[in-house]
Amino acid sequence: MPESKLEIIPLGGVGLFGMNMMAMRYGGEAIIIDAGMGFPEADLPGIDIVIPDFSFIDSYRDEFSAIVLTHGHEDHIGAVPFLLKEINVPVYGTHFTLALLDRKLEEHGLRDSTTVHAVEPREQVKTENFLIEWIHVSHSLTNCTAVAVTTPVGVVIHSGDFKIDETPVVGPSIDLERLTEYGDQGVLALLADSTNAERPGRTQSERAVIPALEKIFDEATGRIVISCFTSSVHRIQIVLDLARDYGRKVSLLGRSMLRNVETADSYRQLDIPDGIFINPNEARQMDEDRLLLLVAGCQGDPMSAMTKLATDQHKNLSVGEGDLVVLSARQIPGNEPAISRLMSHCYKRGARVIDNSLARIHVSGHGSQEDLKILIEATRPKFLVPIHGDHRQLYRHKEWAETLGIVEPRNIIVFENGDVLELDESHAELIATEQVGRTFIDGSYGEVEDLVVRDRKHLSYDGVVLPIVVINPTSGELESEIEVVTRGFIPEEDAGEIVVELKRIVEETVIGASHEERIDYAVIKEKIRLALKRFIQKQTGRRPMIIPVVVEV
Ligand SMILES: [Zn+2]
């Protein structure tokens, strides 16, 4: 009888990094836990967002009753607006999670049509078949939760992203008491974060970065420039407190940094010292040893405030002699070359750069093996299902859990996106596979389709534009005439005129760029692409694929 079984189906986040999304079905009702976006690889020009494939949603469209959010990170809420366009059901999450979501709803014009319910930790929401409770956990963001879903066949606990931090900077510690109560009553399945399942020991408290940062404040004689994730609320609080203690004013740079600090402040997730902030104009006038810049862009994104600051492209300020640049974040896999270029830009301007390899200025928000053990001991589930990680991390999580002797080894189940895990009170088995995958979206939010299809459509409707520039890697000078090749973009007889214009745009962009931007090919390519995209869209209303080529001589 299918009505008597619970199905758990990961639609993202299991077997690959980011894009976390999970469905639970019982008795003709389904809920979604988190709907996050992924991170586009560098070789996907023009792709801004990656979200899960919604084929599954389409198949069970009428069954959905709720979207349940664990916390406000992009890889947990980034796909919610796209999901809401498919299924308009109420969204539940903590206040701060919903505040972070709210901006996205506004951007997508969904604010009025969406029902959101803010919940407090330990609050319960009942749907037809599910009783959902949010339980506070520690993480790099604040107001984060696990969820306990009581179903007719038993309790399923989804850990969200978590670590065990007994001394958080902002907010309470993880609610182990409540998790243990669930454990006492009996937990059917625990779905647990595997991000750090390979790391032995415990993940350190958010406070662990304070000594190294204090040393930096002690030693800095010029400006301090700190870049971290704009959602790292604990980290931002620590930096603001240190700035106050050391008599430095703080200027926030980058739109996402400003917005996140503002949102965190209005939801009392930050305690901002009085009069600490000054605007970038005031910062320019400030004595260097009394100034701290807190900047978005720790991953070296070419268009971020941090890269602009390090390449003289920021309108008010730039990195210079005597600055101490602190990258207080981990390097997301794939971003290493961009971060390395960013560091080089800073060094070349006479700044010193400190990253996590030189000092303890970053701790992870995810639990290591001993944290995982604490969660498993608290909840004592019949079945353990590793989630949030690539295959290696999921299997290492399984291997580690097997050594603990708490869950029977055959009850530790590794599944991957699309697998349907069917559970009743005593059994669990993988019964089927649903279609899953990734959907690529560019900045216009218009197109939601497979990358190959998108590329083909792009090419067949609007053609391709290839600007080719030859740049000297040392001098940054243009070494020969700019070429622009187009195919399928405009009729041949009209092409000559617009190509002249396109060459002019490319030339202006290259000449208008700084020396450092010109020799950072990722930056200059993106600048050329954006300039041409804007121009072509305005002039022709078309959106050809634009692939800048920089030739090094
Ligand atoms: Zn997270």
Using alpha carbons, list the distances in angstroms from residue 167 to 138, 174, 234.
9, 10, 11
User: H or E element: which one contains 26?
Assistant: strand 21-26
Give how far the C-alpha of residue 302 lies from the chain's centroid of Cα atoms, to the nearest Å: 17
User: H or E element: which one contains 178?
Assistant: helix 176-185
Answer whether residue 179 shows pLDDT above 50. Answer: yes
Judge whether 241 counts as a catalytic residue. no
The fraction of the chain above a pLDDT of 90, given in percent, is 76
- Of the residues 75, 161, 165, 193, only one is catalytic, namely 193
The tokens for 242 are 């240190």
**Range of weakest confidence among 65-74, 262-271, 531-540:** 531-540
145 CA to middle of ligand 1, Å?
A: 10
Tally of CA atoms within 13 A in the half-sphere of 410 that contains its CB: 4
The fraction of the chain above a pLDDT of 70, given in percent, is 94
Dump pLDDT digits (tens) for 493-538: 777 788 889 999 999 999 999 888 888 888 899 899 999 999 988 8
What mean pLDDT value characterizes the chain?
91
| Closest alpha carbon to 267 in 95, 92, 116, 76 | 95
pLDDT at 447: 46
- Of the residues 366, 388, 397, 458, only one is catalytic, namely 366
33 CA to middle of ligand 1, Å?
A: 13
274 CA to middle of ligand 1, Å?
A: 29
Q: Which residue has the tokens 């059994």?
A: 427
The tokens for 399 are 């291997």
421 CA to middle of ligand 1, Å?
A: 24
Dump pLDDT digits (tens) for 103-118: 999 999 999 999 999 9
pLDDT at 384: 98
Dump pLDDT digits (tens) for 113-148: 999 999 999 999 999 999 999 999 999 999 999 999
206 CA to middle of ligand 1, Å?
A: 14
144 CA to middle of ligand 1, Å?
A: 8
Q: Which DSSP string corresponds to 31-84?
A: EEEEE--B---TTSTT--EEEE--HHHHHTGGGEEEEE-S---HHHHTTHHHHH
pLDDT at 1: 44
Judge whether 494 counts as a catalytic residue. no
138 CA to middle of ligand 1, Å?
A: 10
